[in-house]
């Protein structure tokens, strides 16, 4: 199922698809969304924003002071994107620890999910390389769970 097919089904069913984009501060979350939305990525500021691309993508800041608020966005979230700046080798361990803590979070209700699908796709927030492939994979996976065959 392609991106346009999924967006069309969402409109027909009047069902929004919610994605939550998390990661440490300066990992590239906003840059990814701006690139995906065709916006200039040369200037980025700290964010707590909603990008509406026919689906809701919550870009929640990754500063240490904001991480405790991440749990407020879990409810009704259909997919989670964890962004890692692979060039920032000094923070990879911090990134791993935060992701591990996130996966233990009760509010995610991971025990209620019968299947866990994971996919790691290397991409570039600056050039856009593989961004569409990652979003396509995620939307296909979510669509298989929330849209029934017609």
Tell me the C-alpha to C-alpha distance, in Å, between residue 92 and each of 11, 27, 132. 39, 10, 24
The CATH number linked to 138 is: 3.40.50.300
Residue keyed to tokens 């990652």: 134
The answer to whether residue 59 sits within a structural domain is yes
Indicate the number of domains in the chain.
1
The answer to whether residue 150 sits within a structural domain is no
Is the pTM of the predicted complex or chain greater than 0.85?
no
| 37 in a known ligand binding site | no
| pLDDT tens, residue order, the chain (150 aa) | 566 666 655 555 556 788 889 999 999 998 988 887 788 888 766 554 545 545 788 888 899 998 888 888 877 788 889 999 999 999 999 999 998 888 887 666 666 666 678 888 999 988 889 988 998 898 888 888 776 544
Indicate the average pLDDT of the chain.
80
The predicted-structure confidence for 90-107, as pLDDT tens digits, reads as follows 999 999 999 888 888 766
pLDDT of res. 150 = 47
| 30 in a known ligand binding site | yes
| 29 in a known ligand binding site | yes
pLDDT of res. 104 = 82
The answer to whether residue 62 sits within a structural domain is yes
Residue-range definition of the domain harbouring residue 63: 3-144
Active-site positions read 63
The answer to whether residue 149 sits within a structural domain is no
Tell me the C-alpha to C-alpha distance, in Å, between residue 59 and each of 12, 33, 76, 86, 111. 26, 8, 15, 19, 25
């Amino acid at each position: 199922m392609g991106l346009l097919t999924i967006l069309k089904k969402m409109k027909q069913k009047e069902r929004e698809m919610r994605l939550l984009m998390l990661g440490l501060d300066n990992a590239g979350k906003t840059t990814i969304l701006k690139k995906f939305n065709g916006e200039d990525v040369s200037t980025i500021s700290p964010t707590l924003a909603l990008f509406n691309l026919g689906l809701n993508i919550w870009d929640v800041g990754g500063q240490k002071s904001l991480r405790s608020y991440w749990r407020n966005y879990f409810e009704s979230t259909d997919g989670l994107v964890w962004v890692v700046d692979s060039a920032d080798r000094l923070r990879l361990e911090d990134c791993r620890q935060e992701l591990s803590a996130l996966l233990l979070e009760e509010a995610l209700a991971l025990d209620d999910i019968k299947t866990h699908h994971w996919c790691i796709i290397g991409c570039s927030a600056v050039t856009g390389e593989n961004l569409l492939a990652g979003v396509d994979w995620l939307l296909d996976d979510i669509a298989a769970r929330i849209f029934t065959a017609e």
